[in-house]
Amino acid sequence: MEVGLMIYIKYRRASIKVDIERPKTCSCCGKTQKKIDYHHWIYAYPTDEVRKNPQLVLDNGNWLCFTCHNIANALKHVMNTHPVVIEKLKKLRAIAIGGC
């Protein structure tokens, strides 16, 4: 790794500076992209703790391209939604598209 190769990764609303090389390949679809961003599935640490130990910013996530990152964000929201809401949405969808 080159010396002084610093990038910023968003953690909650903070920008955390880490000394790593940004990957060029999406860990989900495998496509090579100019810009791959880090997706956090959960924020396991308080922001102040991550500021003190920047390597923690790389826990609980994956490097994803723009498309996969958007899908991962949607999936994260679905996974955190109450099951009753999911069932209601499934019924509403079925009604809206004619029972399919």
The answer as to whether 77 is a domain residue is yes
The answer as to whether 64 is a domain residue is yes
Mapping DSSP to helix (H, G, I), strand (E, B) and coil, where does residue 72 land?
helix
Q: Rounded CA gap, 11 and 47, in Å?
A: 7
The band of 86, judged by pLDDT with boundaries at 50, 70 and 90, is confident
Beta-carbon contacts of residue 45 (< 8 Å; ≥ 6 apart): 56, 59
The answer as to whether 53 is a domain residue is yes
Model's pTM, two decimal places? 0.75
User: 20-62, pLDDT tens digit by residue?
Assistant: 988 999 999 999 988 899 999 999 999 999 999 999 999 999 9
SS3 letters across 64-77? ECHHHHHHHHHHHH
Enclosing domain of residue 75: 7-96
Query: How many domains does one find in the chain?
Result: 1
Q: Is the separation of the CB atoms in 56 and 36 below 8 Å? A: no
Q: Rounded CA gap, 95 and 87, in Å?
A: 13
